[in-house]
Structure 1
């Protein structure tokens, strides 16, 4: 089978981060979002562009718009917070986008974690379409360890399978470093994030071996074959598949929300984000076994890791990107920029 066409140099448009935020917000408001929800989503989009996480920035905006236009997402949602237990808080997202529901749940989650030592936040009836690292980083900046999990549509096969059953099912973790930026990682259970495959298809280049299979179940590096009737593979075979399974249970059965295959069955096919849930966990190190020395002890490990030339800690590259984009702005694919302007009404 022939591979994808050779990539061509893509034209780009230069925007400041403020212009990214304003464009995203204007586009969302023009398509049925109120200002509060639009601002929360624009914060998320701008953060992704700031860190040059292109698959979760403006690239996602047409999908957000599609779900507003179709009526799938409530652009004026007001999330409702519910206290379930001393260590558990729930936010009903009321069918809106995830960012505003996350904002509503953050302070209650932090308060419970500091009171109980560990706490959980269940978010239900939301549409999550972004990276997970912003939500865990925000908690680590306040001195807490944090985890986040969410599902998607069924894109990924079980180990040994050919039928997609799991979402890409990302998980994120953040560790506080007093006086320094937190350690943060955010990774899919699939070998490659869905958005990266979509960008590869748009730009006409192959994806790494082990990313996915075509409609006949054959291994392929053609992103279009993976997206059009094929399926994604879990990272590390059964290891990634087991993590994807765990996340399905945590954000589906545990919190009373949808598995990935249930999200697909309930979806209207508008190309926007799935309806489902998210689970976050927060831990206060001050309530565990080494409240005074945990941070210094962790730094010993980080020093050992980075002592080897060429080794960096997770999130270091994103932070270097931040230092550049804060003043230099970002380059946005010109065709994408034109499409967003059209969606925003010119």
Structure 2
């Protein structure tokens, strides 16, 4: 049997939708998350595509995630809006919150979105790209369960606590980065463990508190923040934004209350959108920014964040996507 299965993007979407429907989702929830997964797969971001599907299905089966969630939009202030996710998978809540956030940012110049009672298992760049498509600067932050140590610590306290930033470029692909506060994204460590690869030094520690390049030991121990104390400080900022600020669970609270079914815990997300036309250079901000990108790209060896993904995005509609046969079989078994 072949080690991999090749699917078209449409086949991958159908597979995900059918799996969700078979595990208690209504079509609205199923399609929202499947679209999100296939955006990741379409950019060859395997760690946030169909790889995540079994975890979602396990949480649906356990009753932790509401597969028929109906998120509620709550207007908080001229520049603030909240979505109560009703226990949803995060993409369902995002789809309820995008337009209110965009409208408020255009009205006020800057606006924030708090998402609560959601289960986030996806890539943040997808969310900020929706904001750049509307011509806005976007930010997104979320947490997880304790898997990352504070600087100098040997016990996990923070989630991987990713952050994403998106800058619109009229007529061109936006500049977007999406990165964890940890030295390496957890999904990448999980894939390395699955595929039998080591990870770079500085990624994490084993249960004994000693650094290791064995992903299996790191998954039993803890991950390290990028840049030592600097990355740990950013992880702390994310915890405060997505839990302390909006009334959701910190990573340690999410772990204490999680079913440990392999899927995403409940948590919060904080997003912010800025209208660049409202900050004093309405006619010149885009052209001025391009002079920066030109200088950046003039340095040998550089490429803008997301450039590789955009290249992949042009290829996968015709080439399809490839997933391990074992993953394909596991999804089928759960349908």
1:308 to 292, 299, 316: 299
- Cα RMSD for the two superposed structures: 1.0
Contiguous gaps of at least 5 residues in structure 2 = none
Note the C-alpha offset of 1:326.
1.4
Q: How far is the alpha carbon of 1:343 from its aligned partner?
A: 1.1
Q: CA deviation at 1:308?
A: 2.0
Moved >3 Å (runs of 4+): none
Provide Cα deviations, 1:242-280, integer angstroms capped at 9, x if missing partner: 000000000000000010000000101111101010000
Written as runs of structure 1 = structure 2, the 5 A alignment for 1:28-39 is 28-39=20-31
Q: In structure 1, the residue corresponding to 2:173 is in which secondary structure?
A: coil
Q: Check conservation: 1:158, 1:164, Cα contact below 8 A.
A: yes
The aligned counterpart of 1:16 is 8
Aligned residue number for residue 241 of structure 1: 232
CA distance in 2, matches of 1:189, 1:304: 28
**Where does residue 109 of structure 2 map in the other structure?**
117
Helix, strand or coil: the match of 1:190?
A: coil
TM-score by length of 1: 0.96
In structure 1, what is the equivalent of residue 265 of structure 2? 274
Partner of 1:257: 248
Per-residue CA distance 1:79-128 (angstroms, 9 max, x = gap):
00000000000000001111011010000000000010000000000000
Q: Which residue of 1 aligns with 2:70?
A: 78
C-alpha deviations, 1:269-312, integer Å up to 9, x for none?
Answer: 11110101000000001110211100111111101111123210
- Quote the residue 2:177 is aligned against: 185
Q: State the match for 1:285 in structure 2.
A: 276
Match of residue 312 from structure 2: 321
Q: TM-score when scaled to structure 2?
A: 0.99
Please tell me whether the aligned partners of residues 25 and 42 of structure 1 are also in contact (alpha carbons under 8 angstroms).
yes
After superposition, the C-alpha distances for 1:190-245 in whole angstroms (9 at most, x for unaligned) are: 000000000000000100000000011101000000012x1000000000000000
What is the SS of the residue equivalent to 2:172?
A: coil
Match of 1:4 in 2: none
Contact map agreement 1:141 1:181 (CA 8 A) in 2: no
Instruction: Show structure 1 runs of 5+ residues with no match.
Output: 1-9
Q: Supply the distance in 2 between the matched residues of 1:107 and 1:55 (Cα, whole angstroms).
A: 28
Match of 2:187 in 1: 195
Whole-Å separation in 1 of the counterparts to 2:328 and 2:285: 46
* Equivalent-residue separation in structure 1 for 2:200 and 2:289 (angstroms): 33
User: What CA distance in whole angstroms lies between the structure 1 residues aligned with 2:205 and 2:162?
Assistant: 20
Aligned counterparts of 1:31 and 1:96: Cα–Cα separation in 2: 14
Mapped pair 1:106 → 2:98: yes
Distance 1:234 1:310 in 2: 26
CA distance in 2, matches of 1:304, 1:329: 35
Q: CA deviation at 1:342?
A: 1.2
Are residue 149 (structure 1) and residue 141 (structure 2) matched? yes
Corresponding residue of 2:207: 215
How many angstroms apart in 2 are the aligned matches of 1:294 and 1:303?
Answer: 14
- 1:331 aligned onto 2:333: no
Q: How does 1:38-117 map to 2 (within 5 A)?
A: 38-117=30-109
